[in-house]
Chains A and B, each alone.
Chain A
Amino acid sequence: ETGVTQSPTHLIKTRGQQVTLRCSSQSGHNTVSWYQQALGQGPQFIFQYYREEENGRGNFPPRFSGLQFPNYSSELNVNALELDDSALYLCASSLDGVGTSYNSPLHFGNGTRLTVT
């Protein structure tokens, strides 16, 4: 089975620009969660999509938005980039929900490193 893949691996943007990050879920998974991991911090929950609908959101402003497609791949869009948006963005997929069981834990990708200058 293929794992979670994210693209691009690295990205440099200028303050005020917009960015789109992409994630392909692990085969058979219908739930995608996005996390932001600042340097030296743990991952912070941004939002989750289940079967193409947003299914929970963390404390991030509306300029962070997402999409999930019929094949369960996903995009994270960030508008009006700020310097503090510089971080590693992690995508995680799971089956039927947040991924808290051993049978269906969260499967993380290796992340996209975004630098905003």
Chain B
Amino acid sequence: GDSVTQMEGPVTLSEEAFLTINCTYTATGYPSLFWYVQYPGEGLQLLLKATKADDKGSNKGFEATYRKETTSFHLEKGSVQVSDSAVYFCALSARDDKIIFGKGTRLHILP
């Protein structure tokens, strides 16, 4: 069945470091891909999305490119801030009835 695999955390970086969180997926057809973020004490929020191959989603300095050939949707940010500390979930939607999430990656940014 459809699934999402993302790198295990926690990931700890210093402020202004470059961030990559890897995500790969398995799906039939052509899913939409998402990154959700969960800040401490808050609910899940959509961070960015891409709906077809080679699309790049971007928001708040984060980017991810839909790579069909490698079935990947890696999250990147050039210079992280302490306020980026959160749990990040990669997800896909292959049909209109549900979104499938990865296990989440906890990110700690040190000042």
Contacts from A to B (Cβ < 8 Å)? 3-4, 33, 35, 40-45, 48, 55-58, 90, 92, 97-100, 102, 105-111
Contact = CB atoms under 8 A, between A and B. Distances in A.
B100 interface: yes
A108 B45 contact: yes
Contacts of A90: 43-44
Interface residues of B, number: 24
A43 B100 CA distance: 8
Interface stretch (B12-20, B63-71, B75-83, B89-97): B89-97
9 contacts: A40-B104, A43-B44, A45-B99, A48-B98, A58-B98, A106-B44, A108-B44, A108-B45, A111-B43
7 nearest A-B residue pairs (beta carbon): A56-B97, A42-B101, A108-B43, A45-B98, A105-B46, A108-B44, A42-B103
Given A102-B49, A106-B44, 5 more contacts: A3-B43, A4-B43, A42-B4, A45-B100, A98-B96
A57 to B, nearest CB: 8
A42 B97 contact: no
Most chain A CB atoms below 10 A, which of B4, B44, B46, B49: B44
Interface string B15-45: 0000000000000000010100000011111
